[in-house]
Amino acid sequence: MGSSRKTEIFVGAFVLLALLAFFVLAMNISNLGSLGSDKGYTVNAQFDNVGGLQPRAKVTLSGVSVGRVTGISYDKETFRAVVTMTINGGVDYLPSDTQASIYTSGLLGEQYISLEPGAEDEVLAEGSAVTLTQSAVVLEEIIGKLLVSFTTKD
C-alpha cells in the first residue's frame, strides 16, 4: 500500500495548493479582502452630467476609497442623471450636506466620485440623497468656454 499512500499525499498537496491559490485570489488579488462582508448603505445623487462615469467606479473621501458606484440611470422627472452608490458600512459619519463631485484621475484616467463632507449634524444613511453635486468636467465644454473667453477678450 506504499504507492497508494504516496498518491494520496500528492493529491492532498495538490488540493491544498489549489485552496491556497484560491485564498490568494480572493484576499490579495480581488477586492473581497478590502470590501469584505459588510454590506454598506446606498445613497443617491443627481448630476446634470455624469460624463464617462461607469458603474463600479470608486467613491472616495479625500482620496480614500470608501465605496463604489452601483448604478447609473436617468430620472425623467428632474431630467438629471441619478447615480446610486454604496458606501462602506464603517463610514457612517458623513454629514447630510456632503458634496459629491465627479473627477477624473489623471488626464486620461477613469472617472470617480469624490465626496467632501459638509457641516450638518445629521448623517447620510440608507436611501439618503446627496443634494450638493458637481457634474463631470467634459473636455469639449472646457474647450468651448476657453474659445468663448478668448473671443470676448478680443
Partner 1 sequence: MILNFLQSIGAYVLDAFASLGRASLFLMQVLMGIKDVLLRPRLLIRELYSVGVLSLLIIVFSAIFVGMVLSLLGYVTLVDFGAESSLGVLVSLSLIRELGPVLSALLFSGRAGSALTAEIGLMKATEQLASMEMMAVDPIRRIVTPRFLAGFISLPLLTIIFMALGIYAGYLVGSVWLGVDEGSYWSQMQNKVEFWHDVVNGIIKSVVFGFVVTWIAVYQGYNAMPTSEGVSRATTNSVVYSALAVLGLDFILTAIMFI
Residue that the C-alpha cell 463632507 belongs to: 117
Burial class (CB in 10 A: 0-12, 13-18, 19+), 85: buried
CB of 141 to partner 1, least distance (A): 24
> Does residue 8 interact with partner 1 by CB under 8 A?
yes
| 90 binds partner 1, rule: CB under 8 A | no
Output 70 or 101, the one with its CB closest to partner 1.
Answer: 70
Pick the stretch among 14-22, 41-49, 69-77, 126-134 that binds partner 1 (CB under 8 A): 14-22
CA distances in angstroms from 112 to 17, 23, 72, listed in the order given: 37, 29, 13
Q: Of residues 2, 28, 93, 152, which one binds partner 1 by CB under 8 A?
A: 28
Q: 34-63: which residues touch partner 1 (CB under 8 A)?
A: 34, 56, 58
What does the radius of gyration of the chain's CA atoms come to, in whole angstroms? 23
The sign of the torsion formed by the CA atoms of 30, 31, 33, 36 equals negative
Binding site for partner 1 (CB under 8 A): 4, 7-8, 10-11, 13-15, 17-18, 20-22, 24-26, 28-34, 56, 58, 65, 106, 108-109
